[in-house]
Structure 1
Amino acid sequence: MTTAPVVVVGFDDSPAAAAALAWAADWARVTGGSVRALHALAPRLVAPPNWCIGDAGRAEHHGRDLDEPSQRERITALFAATAPAPRTTLELTGAPAGERLVAASASADLLVIGTRGRRGAARLLEGSTSHYCLSRARCPVVAVPAG
């Protein structure tokens, strides 16, 4: 007897993530699988009082915001509003999104990520979770652009 396939999908408040979740839900319906949506709660970046642009490495992440109800409630409500397929769960985590998605890909049949199409300086400054996942995932990856 084979087990039902599992798809992991990155989820945040972006149009690309909504498109990725919709794609993953459709895939789960067709295959009889389940969807595990992961959202990385963003810690607050706190810089020392004498911080300047050249001191980016000195800024600290504080976990206080990870337990802030407003952030959790907003993402949970957004997830519920997308009307995901049955057997779809949302997991909130404090780890960086790319790292958490890659770790989850080790036990998944498929990883689905949204792409925002950042290029140049925006990608350099903000990073690219989709690029991180595409180059490190331990299962096949589907990259879904914003609709």
Structure 2
Amino acid sequence: MERADERRVVAGVSGTLGSLTALHRAAAEARRTDAVLRAVLAWSPPGGELGQRSQPWPELLTECRRVAGDRLLRAVDTAFGATGPGVPMETLVVRGTPGVALIAATNGPEDLLVVGAGARGGLRRALHPSVARYCLAHATCPVLAVPPSPLQDDIASVHRRISWHMPLNARELAD
């Protein structure tokens, strides 16, 4: 049962390296402030909410919710392993867009919202609005935007080098 006066550090989790970095920072903040860590994963039905309204399929929604829950648990396990985060933790799977879900997962000004502030290219920004920017504009609690892990650039660089040197037929097989 949730207490209204309980402090929370809420972190958005998707399983990406950036979200795992933010989750680790959120756990450190929860330890520092003696708060509960709340890991939140937002999901939307295939085709979005409009598609679901025009052709509802309850079994698909149930399966999507289950898959989202599994993804959240895998991300938490990837981040902390069997030892866990070292603080009390709640996991929450929310149907909706990430920014709205994260704002709804906070309880007020005593909470802290931790989001990843990943690198953003022009095309990516046009197709996927910034969750961090949305949270900064709408949250009633402090928001901590965590920069990407330095390892993220190293991983991307290695991936580019491997892809560049692959023969054409191997690239076709990788797709």
With structure 1 as the length reference, what TM-score do the two structures score? Answer: 0.78
CA distance in 2, matches of 1:146, 1:106: 26
The percentage of aligned residue pairs carrying the same residue is 30
Greater fraction of residues in helix:
2
2:98 is matched with 97
Which whole-Å deviations, capped at 9, do the CAs of 1:110-143 have from their partners, x for residues lacking one?
1100112213221011111111111111111000
CA distance in 1, matches of 2:120, 2:6: 34
One-letter amino acid of the counterpart of residue 91, structure 1? L
Q: Please report the RMSD computed on the Cα atoms of aligned residues, expressed in angstroms.
A: 2.2
Q: How far off its partner does 1:65 sit?
A: 4.5
Ranges of 4+ aligned residues in structure 1 off by more than 4 Å: none
Q: How far off its partner does 1:95 sit?
A: 1.7
Matched, 1:77 2:74: yes
Q: Counterpart of 1:118 in 2: which secondary structure?
A: coil
CA distance in 1, matches of 2:6, 2:67: 34
Structure ranking higher on relative contact order (CA contacts 8 Å, 6+ apart): 1
Q: Tell me, which stretches of 5 or more residues in structure 1 are unaligned?
A: 47-58
CA distance in 1, matches of 2:62, 2:146: 27
Paired residues, what number? 133
1:67 to 63, 70, 91: 63
With structure 2 as the length reference, what TM-score do the two structures score? Answer: 0.67
The structure with the largest alpha-carbon Rg is 2
The change in CA–CA distance for 1:91 and 1:122 in structure 2 (over 3 A counts) is same
Greater fraction of residues in strand:
1
One-letter amino acid of the counterpart of residue 20, structure 1? A
The change in CA–CA distance for 1:5 and 1:71 in structure 2 (over 3 A counts) is closer
